[in-house]
Structure 1
Amino acid sequence: MADEVINGLENMRLTTEEEEVITISDEGRKEEIESCALNLVGKFLTCKPFNKRAAQNTLRRAWSLEEGVHIIEVGSNLFQFKFSREFDLDRVLNKGPWSFDNQVLMLRRWQPGMTAANVKFDSVALWIQIWGAPFDMSSSEVAAEIGSRLGEVVGVEKRKVREGQNLFMCVKVAVPISKPLRRGGFIGGSNGQRSWVNYKYERLPLFAIFVDSSATT
């Protein structure tokens, strides 16, 4: 949408007045900048119509924030989540993914200059369990290395050395929604021996193996 607007402007002959840049003072933006500082912008990964009021109420209950978050619709299937505390914002961002009616909610933290036209959602942060790795490769470092091949690593679950069970490794990855989810992959050491590991995605909503890329715009 933003590219269409820019291309449209490039094809227009602007008047002298239209070409003028209206400079907004920092003082004039101060209140809104402070208001946006604790904001997330979100979009459901779906092309189908849904009950937006029910979605908002469901999220508030899931987040245990009946009063602690203000939700504003700022575009078609685009929402601004205004939090009153940094703690709540971080908790919501880190504990995801969240969903409504089996449709995953994509979230991004607000950034200066973000508009309803230029905000993009190209990934979903998912916790991925890695099963079947050799005992000598079951470490946080290995989990991060594997995760980096799947997307951008957001976090790694660190296990205690004396923990009774260590059945799998776990890494949180911002997985590109334009690519199919991988079922697993081969890992190998310097000796050339390779092993197959399985990926299990935690709290995975209706996230198709092949995602419709039109849902990203």
Structure 2
Amino acid sequence: MVEDVINGLENMRLMTEEEEVITILDEGRKEEIEGCALSLIGKFLTCKPFNKRAAHNTLRRAWGLEKDIQIVEVGSNLFQFKFSREFDLDRVLRGGPWSFDNQVLLLRRWHKGMTATNVKFESVTLWVQIWGAPFDMSSPKVASEIGRRLGEVVDVEKRRSLESQNLFMRVKVALPLSKPLRRGGFIGGSDG
């Protein structure tokens, strides 16, 4: 019996012809590359089923792109958003976070060689609110420093005016998906 398993495994080896790499020049896939160049790959951060048609329609309306975007399902809960203009793609990518039915949409830019099995989502970009900071620490520089401790800082909300005090500060951070969300923390100056 063990011998049959070993013989079966030996028969599973690739033949020399199967190991050969078939090289396809960019010229042979130029049209597909151009069709993907203005694409984002997205995935909803959920395991539960959801209404894909409603999600697509909601995103189209939220992005103001009812007709100027093509949404293709390329894997299980994996979508390719094809834009007609670079401006719209950048606006959507920078304008998030986006969500549907309380599930965040993870987005990343398409690149050559990306497949449904090798696309990786390693972070989620969210606005983090910082409440209760001392008045002398309510500044974009402090918000940025706090954001750096959480992940990669993407943007910092500027203070509306020097005369008005904000109730909280906001920093947009790419938070690593591999770490749990921090619920809070303490900040202190050099004097405590």
Q: TM-score, normalised by structure 1?
A: 0.77
- Change in 2 beyond 3 A, CA 1:170/1:17: same
Aligned pairs for 1:193-212 (under 5 A) are: 193=192
- After the TM superposition, which segments of 4 or more aligned residues of structure 1 sit over 6 Å from their partners? none
Alpha-carbon distance in structure 1 between the residues aligned to 2:173 and 2:140: 13
1:131 aligned residue: 131
Report Cα offsets for 1:69-93 as digits up to 9, x if no partner. Answer: 1000000110000011112112211
What's 1:190 paired with? 190
1:96 corresponds to which residue? 96
Q: Establish whether residue 175 from structure 1 lines up as the match of residue 175 from structure 2.
A: yes
Aligned to 1:27: 27
CA shift, 1:160, in A, is 5.0
- The higher relative CO (CA closer than 8 Å, separation ≥ 6) is in 1
Give 1:84's aligned amino acid. S
Shift of 1:168: 2.1
CA distance in 2, matches of 1:50, 1:118: 23
How far apart are residue 101 of structure 1 and its match?
Answer: 1.6
Matches within 5 A, 1:110-125: 110-125=110-125
Shift of 1:190: 2.2
Task: Give the paired residue count.
Answer: 181
Encode CA deviations 1:133-159: one digit per residue, 9 max, x unaligned.
222322222211111111121111223
Specify the code of the residue in structure 1 equivalent to 2:171: V
Cα distance in 2 for partners of 1:163, 1:22 equals 66
Structure 2 counterpart of 1:109: 109
Q: How far apart in 2 are the matches of 1:112 and 1:74?
A: 15
1:83-128 C-alpha deviation (Å, 9 max, x unpaired): 1111211221122121112211111111222110001123211011
Gap runs ≥5 in structure 2: 1-11
SS of alignment partner, residue 185 of structure 2: strand
- Cα distance in structure 2, aligned partners of 1:133 and 1:165: 11
1:37-186 → structure 2 map (5 Å cutoff)? 37-159=37-159, 162=162, 164-186=164-186
Indicate the SS of the match to 2:186. Answer: strand
Give the whole-Å Cα distance in 2 for the aligned partners of 1:123 and 1:27.
34
Sequence identity of aligned pairs in percent? 81
**What secondary structure is seen at the aligned counterpart in 2 of 1:184?**
coil
Q: Which runs of 5+ in 1 are unaligned?
A: 1-11, 194-217
**C-alpha distance in structure 2 between counterparts of 1:23 and 1:155, whole Å:** 41
SS at match of 1:13: coil
| Counterpart residue identity of residue 79, structure 2 | F
- What does residue 7 of structure 2 align with? none
Larger radius of gyration: 2
